[in-house]
């Protein structure tokens, strides 16, 4: 239908930013693999950097199909002191307390499903951290949080191109236009011009 | 006053019409028989007498009706006006720009007197008389940008300049062509324009952004943008798409001339002095296809532009359902004769 | 910038505030309010001397809330090409000057959580105006001001009134050194640092901040170095079809302007990129003195910033 939307976020594989002085790693589920890679790179660059590195990790399973994730995968490479959680919300609440004490020169690394990244970026923005200080890698489910432009409700964990709004029950087209402020994709009624005529519903954000 | 300003509606019975004079001064955005994007920015300097470009902010016969329509939109949805806290200085800058310009260019309608910080603003068409202290938000009944844009035609977006970019962080948006301030608030210039197809491949927004970052005080710029709307409806917001979306399916080759309107945005951009922000004014002009066709050159021109429009643009501008009907309605007016370059009616 | 976009002002006061710095107060001819501006802005002052025209940038140091005057401070430069000497020696109360509208390349970041202001000598000027904007107390700030000695601290009274306990002075004469590393090491997230003063101070702040991992977007500086001097050379302007001779003590930009050709400009200091000019032919080498082009762009010699850069060449053809 429409050509690719340039406001859709794009992510790159995480790599250690050796220009940073302090490193805060935040990961959910499959994101542990990305954080491990960053830790290895930091250690290769300067073993002392681990003393200025913190890791927060939540091992929640994003979907039944996800491989079993170890509770503390970081001990295996010798990194001690990773703080473990069972859900992303608790992890981010703790991250907030760390950011309140953090200093300029900090780099934040985020790895996990997109909605976790979105929440983490909202938190980082509150501390005036910008794209030069944050790196994010999307791994795991592509399920989206959708913001209904009509009733403003948020619908979580959306995997289909069309979704019923959790607030007003309209059928929404899940667009690629993304708001960092809301950490959500735009949802607009899909059948305004021909009420009741829905395009085929496909699971495309799994 | 009532002879000049019409009481007309942009909803329900859609009584909006253009007078012959309004038709002739309409800013047709097509200088030739084909259309494609460009960075068509030019200095916003005073244009021809009686044209829409004569003054910084054009006030026309629809002024009072448009202000009433804005009040209706805001009553239903107050979130069409938003401003992040750090944009207060930019709000005052924009209030000053609008008040200074309107009082200078339309002294018959507006007066502004200043004694130091104590200002008095009189708006005769809307019967307002407001004394206030410039810079003191408590002395106005609403936030500065909210207050003044309820007395101006068109939408206004304020962009903060920082980190080598422009950020959409305040605005009054009630006459938009399908974009949501509430959703887009906080985006950068390019993110905001993310959904526009093709233009990114042409680097249009990179070049526009670079230009705007260097915008100077006292040297505003302008450009034209366009789309089409069914009925003279100003509020074609995503929020209200359930209300106006169905209209698109109501167009036929018989009624296209009256239902379908060309919607032209005259966009003006000013550097604001105290905040160093940029204000983006988006002024919306509507004209029915029938009114357009009353000017023979325009009938031929618009017929050709629409007939040959790039499919991605047809889709993005929301014309898919009715473009063919409009082309069919205009076809009898196009005898194939050449059209002169430029948009002026002959 | 167009020559049409200037304002005529009259000097209403001159004060020697330190042995080297003079403070000029300007008002609009006719007494109208001057254009509003944001803290950190500068104006270009155009001075017509018998020998040539000078166009020098000076920061506005006064309050953005007081638009009945503009205030600038001019340091007498030892190796001056004339601009500051002209202002110090030939301008009196009642003299008229031509100025351009304010431009801001050194504004405060509006969503910063803290502002760290570092100034040396006459570099305090843009920071004075920024201080006015910080008076509402919504964002914490610190001001660190390094000068040779107490008598060289310009506007000390105004600084104490505006910055109070957030002001820290460093007197070289009393061996008080500004420890940039210590200062930048302990700043909370969301701090922006702003530096204005001698090149050495700015370079140290920028380098230290980068070393400590501050991102470029949080490091701001304002430099008003005079364009560097160098060997005389010639350039040919292809579109204007004229040849221009650039003497050793005049910049390429000034020489082109003297030949009657206008080049867009903003900062005249090699930072903003506005005067970027295409090089059509070069037999020799460009001497890049700007801070705008990337290393790759400088190496490719496809562009030059005429406000500060020069050439050593047999032939130079520019797209002007």
C-beta atoms of B214 and C104 within 8 A: no
User: Is the residue at B61 inside a domain?
Assistant: yes
Minimum CA–CA partner of B277 in chain C: C38
User: Is the residue at B121 inside a domain?
Assistant: no
Cα dihedral A66→A67→A71→A74 (10° resolution): -110
Domain around B323: 20-78+153-333
Could you tell me if C170 and C269 lie in one domain? no
pLDDT averaged over consecutive 10-residue blocks of chain B (346 residues)?
81 96 96 81 91 97 98 97 98 98 98 96 98 97 98 98 96 95 96 77 77 90 93 96 91 96 97 97 98 97 95 87 95 95 89
Could you tell me if C215 and C119 lie in one domain? yes
User: Is the residue at C227 inside a domain?
Assistant: no
C-beta atoms of B162 and C109 within 8 A: yes
Q: Does B86 touch chain C (CB under 8 A)?
A: yes
C-beta atoms of B274 and C111 within 8 A: no
Could you tell me if C139 and C175 lie in one domain? yes
- Minimum-distance CB partner of C35 among B87, B162, B217: B217
Question: What are C118-176's pLDDT values in tens digits?
Answer: 999 999 999 999 999 999 989 999 999 999 999 888 899 999 999 999 999 999 999 99
In sequence order, which ranges of B33-62 are alpha helices (DSSP H)?
Answer: none
Could you tell me if C58 and C120 lie in one domain? no
Domain count along chain B: 1
- Minimum-distance CB partner of C212 among A104, A127, A130: A104
pLDDT per position in chain A (206 positions), as tens? 333 566 788 898 999 999 999 999 999 999 999 999 999 999 999 999 999 999 999 987 544 345 556 668 899 899 999 999 989 999 999 999 999 999 999 999 999 999 999 999 999 999 999 999 999 999 999 999 999 999 999 999 999 999 999 999 999 999 999 999 999 999 999 999 888 899 999 999 88
Could you tell me if C121 and C215 lie in one domain? yes
The CATH number covering residue C201 comes to: 3.40.50.80
C-beta atoms of C216 and A133 within 8 A: no
Q: Which residues of chain A lie closer than 8 angstroms to B187, CB-CB?
A: 7, 179-181
User: Is the residue at C168 inside a domain?
Assistant: yes
Measure CA C67 to chain center. Answer: 21
User: Is the residue at C228 inside a domain?
Assistant: no
Domains located in chain A, CATH noted: 22-138 (3.40.50.80), 144-189 (no CATH)
Q: Say how far apart CA A189 and CA A4 lie, in whole Å.
A: 20
User: Is the residue at B140 inside a domain?
Assistant: no
C-beta atoms of B216 and C111 within 8 A: no
Could you tell me if C26 and C58 lie in one domain? yes
- Minimum-distance CB partner of B315 among A2, A147, A186: A2
Neighbouring chains to C with at least 3 Cβ pairs closer than 8 Å: A, B
ipTM, 2 decimals? 0.91
- Minimum-distance CB partner of A103 among C112, C189, C218: C189
C-beta atoms of B276 and C38 within 8 A: yes
Q: Does B43 touch chain C (CB under 8 A)?
A: no
Q: Does C201 touch chain A (CB under 8 A)?
A: no
User: Is the residue at B324 inside a domain?
Assistant: yes
Q: Which residues of chain B lie closer than 8 angstroms to A1, CB-CB?
A: 315
User: Is the residue at B14 inside a domain?
Assistant: no
Which residue carries 């001097």 as its tokens? C229
Count Cβ neighbours within 10 Å for each residue of A117-126 and write b for 16 or more, e otherwise.
bbbbbebbbe
The whole-number pLDDT of residue C224 equals 73
User: Is the residue at C302 inside a domain?
Assistant: yes
pTM of the model: 0.92
User: Is the residue at B11 inside a domain?
Assistant: no
The CATH number covering residue C49 comes to: 2.40.30.10
User: Is the residue at C213 inside a domain?
Assistant: yes
DSSP strand pairing (A134-138 vs A144-148): unpaired
Measure CA C190 to chain center. Answer: 25
The whole-number pLDDT of residue A193 equals 85
Could you tell me if C201 and C259 lie in one domain? no
Q: Does C212 touch chain A (CB under 8 A)?
A: yes
Nearest to B269 by CA among B218, B336, B227: B218
Residues of B involved in catalysis: 223
Domain around C151: 114-222
Backbone phi, psi, residue B132, to 5° = -160, 170
Domain count along chain C: 3
């Amino acid at each position: 239908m429409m050509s690719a939307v340039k406001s859709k976020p794009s992510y790159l594989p995480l790599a250690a930013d050796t220009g940073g002085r302090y490193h805060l790693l935040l990961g959910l589920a499959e994101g542990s693999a990305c954080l491990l890679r960053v830790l290895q790179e930091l250690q290769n660059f300067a073993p002392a950097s681990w003393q200025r590195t913190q890791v927060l990790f939540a091992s929640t399973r994003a979907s039944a199909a996800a491989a079993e994730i170890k509770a503390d995968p970081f001990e295996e490479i010798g990194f001690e002191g990773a703080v473990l959680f069972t859900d992303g919300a608790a992890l981010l609440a703790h991250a907030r307390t760390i950011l309140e004490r953090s200093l300029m020169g900090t780099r934040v690394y985020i790895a996990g499903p997109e909605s976790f990244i979105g929440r983490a970026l909202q938190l980082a923005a509150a501390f005036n951290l910008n794209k030069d200080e944050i790196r994010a890698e999307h791994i795991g489910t592509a399920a989206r949080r959708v913001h209904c432009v009509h009733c403003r409700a948020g619908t979580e964990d959306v995997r289909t191109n069309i979704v019923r709004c959790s607030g007003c029950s309209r059928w929404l087209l899940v667009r690629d236009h993304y708001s960092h402020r809301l950490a959500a994709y735009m949802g607009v009624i899909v059948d305004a011009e021909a009420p009741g005529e829905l395009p085929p519903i496909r699971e495309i954000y799994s | 006053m009532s002879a000049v300003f019409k009481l007309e509606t942009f909803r329900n019975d859609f009584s909006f019409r253009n007078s012959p004079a309004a038709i002739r001064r309409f800013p047709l955005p097509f200088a030739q028989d084909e259309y494609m994007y460009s960075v068509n920015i030019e200095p916003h300097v005073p244009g021809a007498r009686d044209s829409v470009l004569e003054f910084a902010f054009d006030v026309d016969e629809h002024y009072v009706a448009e202000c009433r329509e804005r009040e209706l939109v805001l009553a239903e949805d107050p979130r069409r006006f938003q401003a992040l806290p750090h944009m207060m200085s930019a709000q005052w800058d924009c209030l000053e720009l609008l008040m200074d310009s309107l009082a200078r260019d339309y002294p018959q309608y507006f007066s502004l007197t200043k004694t130091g910080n104590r200002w008095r603003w009189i708006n005769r068409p809307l019967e307002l008389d407001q004394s206030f202290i410039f810079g003191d938000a408590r002395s106005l009944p609403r936030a500065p940008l909210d207050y003044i844009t309820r007395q101006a035609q068109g939408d206004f977006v304020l962009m903060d300049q920082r980190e080598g970019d422009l950020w959409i962080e305040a605005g009054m948006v009630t006459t938009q062509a399908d974009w949501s301030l509430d959703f887009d608030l906080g985006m950068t210039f390019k993110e905001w324009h993310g959904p526009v197809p093709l233009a990114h491949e042409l680097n249009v927004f990179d070049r526009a952004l670079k230009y705007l970052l260097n915008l100077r005080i006292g040297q505003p710029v302008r450009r034209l943008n366009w789309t089409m709307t069914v009925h003279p409806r100003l509020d074609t917001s995503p929020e209200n798409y359930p209300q106006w979306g169905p209209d698109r399916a109501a167009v036929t080759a018989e009624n296209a001339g009256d239902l379908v309107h060309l919607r032209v945005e005259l966009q003006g951009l000013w550097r604001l002095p105290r905040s160093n922000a940029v204000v983006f004014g988006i002024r919306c002009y509507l004209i029915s296809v029938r009114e357009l066709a009353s000017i023979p050159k325009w009938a031929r021109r618009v017929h050709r532009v629409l007939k040959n429009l790039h499919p991605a643009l047809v889709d993005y501008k929301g014309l898919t359902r009715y473009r063919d009907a409009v082309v069919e309605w205009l076809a009898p007016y196009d005898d194939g004769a050449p059209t002169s370059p430029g948009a002026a009616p002959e | 910038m167009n020559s049409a976009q200037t304002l005529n002002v009259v000097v209403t006061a001159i004060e020697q505030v330190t042995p080297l710095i003079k403070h000029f107060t300007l008002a609009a001819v006719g007494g109208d309010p001057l254009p509003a501006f944001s803290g950190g802005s500068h104006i270009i002052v155009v001075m017509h001397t018998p020998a040539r025209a000078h166009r020098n940038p000076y920061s506005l140091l006064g309050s953005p809330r007081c638009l009945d005057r503009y205030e600038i401070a001019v340091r007498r430069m030892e190796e001056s090409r004339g601009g500051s000497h002209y202002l110090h020696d030939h301008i009196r109360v009642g003299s008229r000057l031509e100025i351009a509208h304010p431009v801001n390349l050194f504004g405060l970041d509006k969503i910063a959580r803290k502002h760290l202001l570092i100034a040396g000598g006459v570099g305090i000027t843009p920071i004075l105006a920024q201080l006015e904007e910080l008076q509402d107390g919504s964002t914490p700030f610190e001001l660190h001001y390094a000068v040779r000695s107490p008598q060289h601290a310009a506007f000390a009274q105004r600084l104490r009134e505006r910055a109070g306990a957030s002001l820290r002075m460093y007197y070289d004469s009393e061996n008080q050194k500004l420890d940039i590393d210590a200062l930048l090491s302990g700043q909370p997230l969301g701090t922006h640092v702003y530096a204005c003063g001698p090149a050495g101070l700015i370079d140290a702040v920028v380098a230290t901040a980068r070393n400590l991992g501050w991102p470029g977007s949080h490091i701001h500086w304002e430099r008003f170095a005079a364009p560097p001097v160098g060997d005389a050379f010639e350039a040919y302007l292809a579109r204007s079809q004229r040849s221009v001779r650039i003497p050793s003590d005049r910049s390429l930009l000034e020489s082109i302007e003297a030949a009657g050709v206008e080049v867009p400009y903003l900062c005249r200091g090699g930072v903003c990129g506005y005067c970027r000019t295409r090089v059509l032919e070069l037999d020799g080498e460009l001497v890049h003195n700007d801070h705008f082009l990337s290393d790759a762009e400088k190496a490719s010699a496809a562009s030059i910033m005429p406000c500060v850069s020069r050439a050593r060449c047999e032939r130079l053809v520019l797209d002007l």
